[in-house]
Structure 1
């Protein structure tokens, strides 16, 4: 009976991924054309639409409500590490990813919130204080994006070529007059199905974890984080193959900001405080290294195979730390 149940949840897991895989094409294709029609930056749209990560927030908020701040914060940090390593390292091993320079504004928000998260570990009621600061940072991010959404109208070179093709074939007029509502409808429907697919992945993974008895620490830092990044990895791969890298990159930058502000902010206000733990610090240092590396990458405006190898090595180190570190720390305390 247990074997049948295990196979059932395995089927649900792969079914969820299949839904994401199929609807990601519809979502990116229609969003790309709308960006062409309205002259809106694909990066901004990606950050505002794909950057919203409700399942990630729900996982951390529920953990905080249940008195598990370690899982709540661990999920934020672990999810961000996996999003920036696995989701970009695998595509970079097969493609050279070229993109436009990312505005310093986004890195100012990310680095500020990253240090807010660190300070929340170190002082009493730190989660409450710095969680509130992170929510304020999201408000600034939102205002900035809304303000510039109509100003940043540079179109990716490949997209610009497609626009010319549409105009030559007489299709662009037909799209703008007859199909806008249909495209918006398809974008919303595909986004809903992508979210449903993500929820199926998380729910099935949770059930599989219960059956296998995986530890709470690994569950918080690795399992939830891996599961909630499956859809992001798929969307990044799809955006690269369709020559709309800015949509995938914007979505990932938006997701990191969402993690650091909305998810951490709300979870922190609910949890109020967290007990200091070296495992949090080690993972925070790994995340700082990754974000600093991405800041340097943003200047050269490309992600090469060498970058992909480096990010994948960091991902492996992250896994090793979170599987072996709790044991090593326990041995260290025993020695002293």
Structure 2
């Protein structure tokens, strides 16, 4: 019988490898779906990969229980951490040209960060900023729908005018339907496996920390920050390596906007208001800095090492600051 630490270490490594391996498959499948269904890659990233269920559930449950600092702090902290890990680390050693997202999304990132920051100051008006954040998310959906319509209308289709019998046309239609169904099924299965692997990764990390006696603050701020963003990191890296940069980048932008608009808004409506805390204010300031840097960097159509240093510097400052307030 293997010792418990060895078992949990094996599970940790296996789940990490599963996420790393499936990132390739997910990016390839999304590329196929984009072509087959005529869906803009950024729309797939923003609305499919951009849904962050784990963070949403944690924050919403905490809000229902009245735990304002856990609920909102989780969203603010994850924004800084996600940018630092998913964008900062790849930018340090990978160079990539980025197809520019519509400028609306860059403005949305900054406006969402401003709403969060002001709500940390005017805590009695949290409900109001929650409503504004939800309205911003509605605008996000409307603009994304408009982006998809524009993509469909401008996409060039090469049509070969070859006469076909009714039977040939029916066979082609059935084959296309089968391919789309198969691609969609593979993608859903892969996303499910990645989600389960991420859960195993987090659970095994928790057990390893308990068994090794690591400091809880170190675990919460460093270990958990790293393992909960593993899939985001590898999706960005793999999308760059495979030439599907728009998918990886839009997925991370989508997750950030999902958390800072819709989920922040819903949590704020549930909480109504809360007591001012300086650590929440300082964290939201760092979050806004990270969002502004991200918007500026992406608008330049490239990931740069200088931006990577900026992202990771903000991340390190965030971790040090929260470690200080933890004691």
Task: State if a TM-score over 0.5 links the two structures.
Answer: yes
Deviation at 1:242, TM superposition (A): 0.7
Answer yes or no: is the 8 Å Cα contact 1:71–1:217 preserved in 2.
no
3-state DSSP class of the match of 1:150? Answer: helix
Name segments (4+ residues, structure 1) moved above 6 Å.
none
Answer yes or no: is the 8 Å Cα contact 2:30–2:187 preserved in 1.
yes
Answer yes or no: is the 8 Å Cα contact 1:279–1:326 preserved in 2.
no
Residue of structure 1 in register with 2:304 after alignment: 304
**Alignment: residue pair count:** 312
5 Å-filtered alignment, 1:1-336, equals: 4-152=3-151, 176=176, 178-208=178-208, 212=213, 214-215=215-216, 219=220, 224-327=224-327
Moved more, 263-272 or 91-100: 263-272
Deviation at 1:126, TM superposition (A): 3.2
Answer yes or no: is the 8 Å Cα contact 1:101–1:298 preserved in 2.
yes
1:88-134 per-position Cα deviation (integer Å, ceiling 9, x unaligned): 12222222121112222112322222222223223354333322322
Q: What is the alpha-carbon distance in structure 2 between the residues aligned to residue 32 and residue 283 of structure 1?
A: 36
Deviation at 1:218, TM superposition (A): 7.2
Q: CA RMSD in A?
A: 3.0
Deviation at 1:178, TM superposition (A): 5.0
What stretches of structure 1 of length at least 5 have no aligned partner? 165-172, 328-336
Distance change in 2, residues 1:42/1:48 (3 Å): same
Answer yes or no: is the 8 Å Cα contact 2:84–2:311 preserved in 1.
yes
Deviation at 1:200, TM superposition (A): 2.3
Q: What is the alpha-carbon distance in structure 2 between the residues aligned to residue 282 and residue 218 of structure 1?
A: 21
Q: What is the alpha-carbon distance in structure 2 between the residues aligned to residue 91 and residue 149 of structure 1?
A: 28
Q: What is the alpha-carbon distance in structure 2 between the residues aligned to residue 207 and residue 270 of structure 1?
A: 32
Moved more, 177-186 or 90-99: 177-186
Deviation at 1:184, TM superposition (A): 1.2
Deviation at 1:68, TM superposition (A): 2.2
Q: What is the alpha-carbon distance in structure 2 between the residues aligned to residue 138 and residue 204 of structure 1?
A: 35
Answer yes or no: is the 8 Å Cα contact 1:61–1:267 preserved in 2.
yes
State the TM-score, normalized to the length of structure 2.
0.83
Residue of structure 2 in register with 1:333 after alignment: none
Distance change in 2, residues 1:277/1:7 (3 Å): farther
1:218-251 per-position Cα deviation (integer Å, ceiling 9, x unaligned): 73x6554433211111111111111101000000
